[in-house]
Amino acid sequence: MNELRVWVDGKERIIRGVSDSTTCESILIALAKAAGKTGRVALLEKWRDLERILPRTEKPIKCLQMWGSLQKEVKFLLRDETPDQS
């Protein structure tokens, strides 16, 4: 089992018990519940100035492993995707 570091509202959260088969969907459900988010959320992979929204079926640990020696430069972010109601 691994841990995954995800930035939520500017704060780093550590998700423990993440395996190679854990999907973004599972991470999103856990984080949204813990952060009290009720709208649509997305998990982003960020490397330097590049961001990519990860599909809900993606496995973040496998995704991270693909970065090889650059893994330490990659961040995961929880982004609120709920449309503005203004």
CATH (residue range 2-80):
3.10.20.90
pTM for the full predicted model: 0.84
pLDDT in tens, 27-63: 999 888 888 877 888 999 999 999 999 999 999 999 9
SS3 content of the chain, % helix, strand, coil (to 5): 30, 40, 35
pLDDT digits (tens, 9 = 90+) for 11-21: 999 999 999 99
Q: Are strands 11-18 and 41-47 parallel, antiparallel or unpaired?
A: unpaired
- Where do the domains of the chain lie? 2-80
The whole-number pLDDT of residue 72 equals 93
